Chains A and B, each alone.
Chain A
């Protein structure tokens, strides 16, 4: 294992195109172990695509992404996905399985854990997100916030070193946003490395160790939340922040 100050995730010169459309260009980003990084920026700025490149849901066109210094494209897929978990905007709980089985499937199939062990671990994480009483519930019996908490437990059950969140609260009714954000805060206290794409500026401001502002496929500015929110250096950052801090709810999904 690397020492704690070397980056757990290292992105160098990342480019991504969809057809002729350049979505990401020249992204460099280092994420040290235990850090919480929030990616903010207008819709279509490439935040989600960047996240999806990190666990290879999208294949980068150029550049390199390293996990503990190892090129992710060279890693076995199962290992990569177990180490780098993901939580989706639309939850994407497996519709044919109950909450517990959602958390068990990957452990048994990918990590080859026994059923007993998997169920134990799944139960532990469901409890941690406050969803243990709903272990037998099917996804369509749960509210959005509950689904997202199960989705977080599903990701945690794989013992990831990094957790990626793709707008985890954007599909939620306002009253459910807090239950999910507070779960994410407890993960931060547990020292988990997280990269979070979010439109929740207040959350980014108080939960992030570092905030990264992206626009038009480029990484425009990054810094500590206090610095970036109170004293943005770039004009585009300033314009975006004044827009999104003015009225809460930018209508961006």
Chain B
């Protein structure tokens, strides 16, 4: 048995290296699936929530729309107002006991992270939509586009560029927060670490390695996102102003910068 810190690190990596790697893979998989699916959910929810309720519309239409908005607001409030660790338990065991639905832990993980991220994304996208000048929607309407058409062709392409840093941020949050899914035995990197630590009861050494893994994952992701953002801003007419992941990004737009 080694008797130094580095000795232990060496032994643990030798013995559990593939376990850590596998866990890191699952963590990234959950983060990617959850963020992408959550982003799609967020876009849809934001489009639905911004359907204008015209006072001239028939009563049943207005009631339906209002009901719909309420349901979406409740979804956002509930999933932002409860911890993901609790959501994981409720969804996984709820499905098992009351719907006789024995999902794999990984499927439950995808579901929980997607729906949870969707609630945050919906608010981020809504903020992005509100940041686009009102005249854009009016012009789209005046040309004859439907709400859906003006959103997908005019408003969202402009909104998404401005919310890109916030979306990237959610991705990084998901890499870290998917660790809570260990409570439903998802084999992500935290769960793997727990198993590894149990053998020799070397918690500090194991979780030191875990911390390094998480940091490498988030650091790399942040750099890649920064590159993507730079690429988008490289085009002549668009810069992601006030970027959150690049301290060099301009905070304010000035036309002379071009």
A-side interface residues toward B, CB under 8 Å? 55, 57, 59, 73, 77-82, 85-86, 88, 90-97, 105-106, 109-110, 138, 140-141, 151, 154-155, 158
Minimum CB distance partner of A86 in chain B: B142
Minimum CB distance partner of B142 in chain A: A86
Given the known interface contacts A88-B139, A92-B138, the answer about A141 and B237 at a Cβ–Cβ threshold of 8 Å is yes
Cα distance A85–B143 in the bound complex, in angstroms: 7
| Contact between B141 and A95, CB atoms less than 8 A apart | no
| Contact between A92 and B139, CB atoms less than 8 A apart | yes
Interface status of B198 (Cβ within 8 A of chain A): no
Cα distance A78–B142 in the bound complex, in angstroms: 9
Minimum CB distance partner of B132 in chain A: A95
| Contact between B56 and A158, CB atoms less than 8 A apart | no
* 4 additional A-B residue pairs with CB within 8 Å, beyond A77-B144, A94-B139, A105-B154: A77-B146, A78-B146, A97-B154, A154-B143
B237: which A residues are within 8 A, CB to CB? 138, 140-141
The list of the 7 closest CB pairs from A to B, nearest first, reads A81-B144, A92-B139, A106-B143, A110-B144, A92-B135, A138-B237, A86-B142
| Contact between A95 and B158, CB atoms less than 8 A apart | yes
Cα distance A86–B54 in the bound complex, in angstroms: 20
Cα distance A247–B110 in the bound complex, in angstroms: 68
Interface status of B153 (Cβ within 8 A of chain A): yes
Minimum CB distance partner of A109 in chain B: B149
Interface status of B255 (Cβ within 8 A of chain A): yes
Q: How far is the CB of A5 from chain B (nearest CB, A)?
A: 28
A158: which B residues are within 8 A, CB to CB? 143-144
Interface status of B256 (Cβ within 8 A of chain A): no
| Contact between A81 and B142, CB atoms less than 8 A apart | yes
B135: which A residues are within 8 A, CB to CB? 88, 90-92
Cα distance A155–B141 in the bound complex, in angstroms: 12
Given the known interface contacts A90-B135, A138-B236, the answer about A105 and B56 at a Cβ–Cβ threshold of 8 Å is no
Q: Which of B55, B140, B142 has the most CB of A within 10 A?
A: B142
| Contact between A93 and B139, CB atoms less than 8 A apart | yes
A57: which B residues are within 8 A, CB to CB? 138, 141-142
| Contact between A81 and B143, CB atoms less than 8 A apart | yes
Q: How far is the CB of B85 from chain A (nearest CB, A)?
A: 39
| Contact between B145 and A105, CB atoms less than 8 A apart | yes
Cα distance A134–B18 in the bound complex, in angstroms: 58
A80: which B residues are within 8 A, CB to CB? 144
Q: How far is the CB of B59 from chain A (nearest CB, A)?
A: 15
For chain B residues 32-68, which have a beta carbon within 8 Å of chain A?
54-56
Minimum CB distance partner of B145 in chain A: A109
Interface status of B157 (Cβ within 8 A of chain A): yes
Interface status of B185 (Cβ within 8 A of chain A): no
Interface status of B70 (Cβ within 8 A of chain A): no
